[in-house]
């Protein structure tokens, strides 16, 4: 049983949008919280230094805050886009008995999906390489560390609170790639709907032209 006038393919698409919405919120929140733990600094591609006098870790260099804002903004835009689509199609399903999209709007959906997937790839690569660069500096400058995750258990110099920096960045990256996978499925679902729309348009065109070109049968 489908919800209101929404087809099962569109229902599946909305479920995938909901998954992308959740992933976008998690990614944006994780990056923002991690940035807040370091006094608003963006630690991606940063350098961690061990203070021997205070036996604590500190951040020696960081990236521009706009880099973290860029990553967060992509996730927020994806979340807002998905939320808007969910609300629109639920409203359309309540108003109309049967919700359909033409080939043109399905092409627009494919274009938007491709654009958002590209931005997610950029965001995921920034998170992965930025985190690896940060972890590399931690392992190089802090001899007692066996893994980057162990740095979370170390003492950090004020005003930094790095007890969850690795988990936060890892959660953000994982959410971005899961969202990317969901968008791949969205594109597949939209492609199927587009093929159905093209077939329906073709059948409608044939039905409209047949009365004009139909030849009457000969009588002897």
Residue 1 placed within a domain: no
Within the chain, how many helices (H) and strands (E) appear? 4, 2
Look at 213 and 35; give whichever has higher pLDDT: 35
Residue 85 placed within a domain: yes
Residue 37 placed within a domain: yes
CA 168 vs CA 17, 24, 65, 107, 127: distances in Å? 23, 14, 16, 36, 11
Residue 132 placed within a domain: yes
* Model confidence pLDDT, tens digit, residues 39-52: 899 999 999 888 87
Q: Which helix (H) or strand (E) holds 162?
A: none
Q: How many domains does the chain have?
A: 1
Domain range for residue 177?
8-200
Contact 130, 45 (CB under 8 A): yes
Q: Which of 74, 82, 80 is nearest to 14 (CA)?
A: 82
DSSP state of 40: T
Residue 152 placed within a domain: yes
Calculate the CA 174 to chain-centre distance.
10
DSSP state of 184: H
pLDDT value of position 2: 46
Residue 101 placed within a domain: yes
pLDDT value of position 208: 54
* Model confidence pLDDT, tens digit, residues 187-200: 999 999 888 876 76
Mean of pLDDT values over 121-146: 90
pLDDT value of position 207: 52
Residue 77 placed within a domain: yes
Residue 133 placed within a domain: yes
């Amino acid at each position: 049983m489908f919800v209101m006038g929404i087809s099962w393919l569109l229902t599946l698409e909305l479920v995938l949008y909901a998954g992308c919405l959740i992933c976008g919120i998690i990614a944006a929140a994780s990056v923002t919280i991690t940035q807040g733990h370091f006094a608003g600094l963006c630690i991606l591609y940063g350098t961690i230094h061990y203070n021997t006098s205070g036996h604590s870790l500190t951040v020696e260099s960081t990236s521009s805050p706009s880099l973290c804002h860029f990553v967060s903004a992509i996730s927020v835009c994806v979340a807002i886009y998905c939320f808007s689509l969910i609300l629109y199609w639920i409203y359309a399903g309540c108003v109309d008995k049967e919700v359909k999209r033409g080939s043109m709007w399905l092409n627009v959906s494919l274009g938007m999906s491709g654009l958002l997937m590209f931005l997610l790839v950029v965001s995921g690569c920034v998170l992965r390489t930025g985190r690896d660069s940060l972890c590399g500096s931690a392992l190089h400058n802090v001899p007692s560390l066996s893994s980057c995750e162990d740095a979370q258990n170390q003492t950090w110099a004020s005003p930094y609170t790095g007890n969850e920096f690795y988990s936060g960045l890892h959660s953000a990256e994982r959410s971005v790639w899961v969202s990317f996978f969901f968008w791949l499925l969205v594109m597949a679902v939209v492609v199927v709907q587009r093929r159905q729309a093209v077939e329906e348009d073709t059948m409608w065109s044939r039905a409209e032209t047949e009365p004009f070109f139909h030849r009457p049968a000969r009588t002897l």
